[in-house]
Structure 1
């Protein structure tokens, strides 16, 4: 796998997490905008408590990085988004800490600092792009800093319990931070599950492909090579057998090129049908009706194999149950048509007397042919024998 493929795979593997980060980042940006509008009076008042540089700088840095984080979510690179989120998260505690260097220690304000109103928004930015432990550490540090600032600037006025203030702010922020962390974690789990599923599917597909190749080779050896050798032993060299042998050699050559057959020629289809019949009964009388068929006619592979399987099942039923002395198969291939007739002179059977658990006729013959588009089955049985007609029309 080259580098481009690796990058593509990685991007696809983290698609759900990236989308959650982008959505949450935009939500955080909206939160910064809402608090900026609500806190305009408090921001103006705070300018009288600390030197003039801190308030405009804090507004620009804290809210500016928050808006930049939201804007970065439209960037194609998730790395840029994570960097912007980290900067927005760090800007809040940094500016909260700088308040102590800017405060003159003399001027007091009963309202407290405006930063105390929204430490949770910055904590959401941290939770979006960081792991849980650093996100909670960030939230704790931010809450403690702004609550201590409030306590200090209110000193001449009645003060509340600083521990209670910190605990309340922590609990309030924790709800949103925990929800954000859980959402991002869910995205990671989903991505990991998808990645694992894709890997499992790829392995299963590879195993299926190997199994299909094995079955294809087994079918070729059984249906064409062994069938040709058996026919040589029984009938000697005939034009039909020569065509069958050439077909077997051609298909063996196809194995080296990875060619997958979708259709059979008339000769190949007859070879499949003859092989299915002789596998069940080597002495079967197999007759080809109208051997002057146009040899360029093509038949779907799955259709021929389904008919061959139904033919084999009909012969097996005859061998096991019919007590017949003679069996025969007649095949007729015409343009867009296949007709197979299986006959025996056995004792016959009554369909109504067949136990429900015996599925040979219902499933392996009638059911199989019913699944073919254009397939049909006709079974006639009496004390004089049984006739099974299998048909297909394109």
Structure 2
């Protein structure tokens, strides 16, 4: 099991807790909106309470009022800091209190209310307890409660009405209440589901991103150690094995290399450093390696991961060293002067480092596969990071340009789940269709039944059709905000309905639901606010308010009477607007929290994996190379056997870098023995860290061929994933032959 796999479970527990916190955050905002809405509806119901409560029963009625509005107000006040179990308990209490308040009305009130004031205060806030129940109960329970309180609301209205056909009035009230609270309960259930879905998808993304970050970190540590081996250890061992450097210089190189190995055990650098640190380090490195090289940097102080800075500096240093070694040399001409430049800049958020020279250049096809400078120390080093890349461009006679780049990665938080509030309508589609049908049916009943039916039937019919068309139009599009054409069409239809009804009824009409159009228009405006057209919705309501008051005054009613007709509908629009604002803000916050937690968890897991991998790699390096490096550091003269051992260790380390999946027993021992017999052994791995699941046939075949070779050359190569064959073995000994290893172990 990999280090990444071992570390994942430790993170999963915290991920579950984070998901709960995200959903709970949304619930708290709903409680806050309920508290604010309760203040508004409580204020609106205060006057009806004082007018409708008989003197003897006033203490009991006042206690019901205080409980009915005090509980949600307390929820709002406590929403941001109280334990959620307390808030849930208050929500349950509010649901029960509302039912008890209705029961109190039915049990202790036996008189009718006067005409024009026959809407009991107790049914003016039905949506608040229904939403409270929807925040703590399952959807079925919430919808059951909606049906219950809608029926009770109609019963109380019929019980208290002084008009004729009180049963019809009660039925109308039940239908209208059902329509109104279905909108809020449907939104509550949908947003809770969206939040849960987003959190669950974010959990999966977080685990996948963390696993990916762990693999990248693991690869980075391997490449860091591989680069050290290539840049220092192999060089020292080759110099020792070939006897090309005097013992004093060799000893100094060995001590320096041991120091670099020890340095890898130092604590990891800070997570983030200013980008200007990269410019400063590259300026110093350039001055040390290649004095006279043109240098330019325009990096600012924005944060960059310290590991990325290290990788860019090391890769740029390798590019400079390659330029110094090869740019001025040609097999058929003497060395010539070479101009070099290093440029560091920020390209729209991407950190770019370019190392150029105008030297002799090279053809990439001519670079042997076993050369590691470009492949490992430059390209692989940068590709180990998400957003990292390296490109080497060169042509014979045209110089060389190495471009290193790193672009910050912003992980997704929520995957394909709907992370925005606009996704609510796609999830609510079945409920929206039911509510639209209910809207049309309810307002048809309100408009065309009972003694208040219009004398100018065609005008009321046209107004009804206009409002119904507006309701359908503003729910058709699946995108938010609602497209401009549909928004303007909705507003025009509502304005037409309002004007038609001004000619149809009078403000003095006291029949139940005579002014049904005011509530219908407000409900459609509420949908506009939900569809991202909040300013237009409130502007239209302002126009409706002003027109209604003017209509009342023109028809001989005081301005206060006009205000009374329309002001109670403001509570519906206000509550909906606050609710939508809270939900949108919560969704945006939830998405950002998911992103932050994904980055945090990935960083923690990557750090743990990096430490484990670094220790494993250094332990291997210490076992293979440290004893010989320490002997070289002591400056003792080397015998022929010592030199041969240095070359053997160098070859073994090269195998570990170039052919990681083959660096296992029995291949290691077979390769060492073959080299001791004079066989030229080359082991390569082209599987790109995706070796075959079962390497046993490959390792057995490679070890067998190495054991059988007495001279010549053996080249074993693990092939890229997806091939029919797993590996090829090329043997140049007494005769040339190619062995192909398949998944079933067959040799061809």
State the TM-score, normalized to the length of structure 1.
0.63
Residue 212 of structure 1 corresponds to: 220
Q: 1:118 to 1:241 in 2, by over 3 A?
A: same
Cα deviation for residue 210 of structure 1 reads 0.7
The residue matched to 1:359 in structure 2 has which SS?
A: strand
The residue matched to 2:40 in structure 1 has which SS?
A: helix
Question: 1:127 is matched with which residue: 123, 134, 150?
Answer: 134
Q: 1:342 to 1:120 in 2, by over 3 A?
A: closer
Moved more, 21-30 or 55-64: 21-30
Residue 388 of structure 1 corresponds to: none
Matched residues in 2 for 1:8 and 1:370: separation?
Answer: 34
1:336-355, aligned counterparts within 5 Å? Answer: none
Question: 1:80 is matched with which residue: 61, 79, 86?
Answer: 86
1:153-202: CA deviation from partner (whole Å, max 9, x where unpaired) = 44884324244432222112111222233344444444445444443443
Matched residues in 2 for 1:72 and 1:369: separation?
Answer: 53
State the TM-score, normalized to the length of structure 2.
0.36
Matched residues in 2 for 1:31 and 1:369: separation?
Answer: 57
Residue 159 of structure 1 corresponds to: 166
Residue 112 of structure 2 corresponds to: 108
Root-mean-square deviation (Å)? 4.8
- Consecutive unaligned residues in structure 1, runs of 5 or more: 264-268, 274-287, 290-299, 332-338, 347-356, 372-394
1:28-177, aligned counterparts within 5 Å? Answer: 28-48=34-54, 51=57, 54-103=60-109, 106-109=110-113, 111=118, 113-154=120-161, 157-161=164-168, 162-177=170-185
Q: 1:325 to 1:122 in 2, by over 3 A?
A: same
Matched residues in 2 for 1:34 and 1:236: separation?
Answer: 89
Matched-pair contact (CA < 8 Å) for 2:19–2:199 = yes
Q: 1:258 to 1:32 in 2, by over 3 A?
A: closer
Matched residues in 1 for 2:317 and 2:395: separation?
Answer: 13
The residue matched to 2:112 in structure 1 has which SS?
A: coil
Residue 29 of structure 2 corresponds to: 23
Matched residues in 1 for 2:268 and 2:26: separation?
Answer: 45
Residue 221 of structure 1 corresponds to: 229
Residue 240 of structure 2 corresponds to: 232
Matched residues in 2 for 1:43 and 1:139: separation?
Answer: 24
Matched residues in 2 for 1:344 and 1:44: separation?
Answer: 97
Q: 1:344 to 1:121 in 2, by over 3 A?
A: closer
Matched residues in 1 for 2:139 and 2:255: separation?
Answer: 70
Matched-pair contact (CA < 8 Å) for 1:327–1:342 = no
The residue matched to 1:366 in structure 2 has which SS?
A: strand
Residue 429 of structure 2 corresponds to: none
Matched-pair contact (CA < 8 Å) for 2:328–2:337 = no
Matched residues in 2 for 1:343 and 1:40: separation?
Answer: 89
Matched residues in 1 for 2:405 and 2:86: separation?
Answer: 59
Greater length-normalized contact order (CA 8 Å, ≥ 6 residues apart): 2
Q: In the alignment, does 2:312 pair up with 1:305?
A: no
Moved more, 75-84 or 308-317: 308-317
Matched residues in 2 for 1:166 and 1:140: separation?
Answer: 9
Matched-pair contact (CA < 8 Å) for 2:34–2:128 = yes
Q: 1:259 to 1:239 in 2, by over 3 A?
A: farther
The residue matched to 1:39 in structure 2 has which SS?
A: helix
Matched residues in 1 for 2:404 and 2:173: separation?
Answer: 78
Matched-pair contact (CA < 8 Å) for 2:92–2:133 = yes
1:294-353: CA deviation from partner (whole Å, max 9, x where unpaired) = xxxxxx77435313235547878899xx6x24787999xxxxxxx99997799xxxxxxx
Cα deviation for residue 229 of structure 1 reads 1.5
Question: 1:366 is matched with which residue: 401, 408, 415?
Answer: 401
Cα deviation for residue 88 of structure 1 reads 2.1
Matched residues in 1 for 2:16 and 2:138: separation?
Answer: 19
Cα deviation for residue 71 of structure 1 reads 1.2
Matched residues in 1 for 2:357 and 2:155: separation?
Answer: 96
Q: 1:94 to 1:315 in 2, by over 3 A?
A: farther
Q: In the alignment, does 2:257 pair up with 1:248?
A: yes
Matched-pair contact (CA < 8 Å) for 1:26–1:71 = yes
1:223-253: CA deviation from partner (whole Å, max 9, x where unpaired) = 2222111111331543222222122233334
Cα deviation for residue 135 of structure 1 reads 2.5
Matched residues in 2 for 1:343 and 1:239: separation?
Answer: 33
- Consecutive unaligned residues in structure 2, runs of 5 or more: 1-6, 271-276, 279-284, 292-309, 339-354, 363-390, 407-748
Matched-pair contact (CA < 8 Å) for 1:124–1:180 = yes
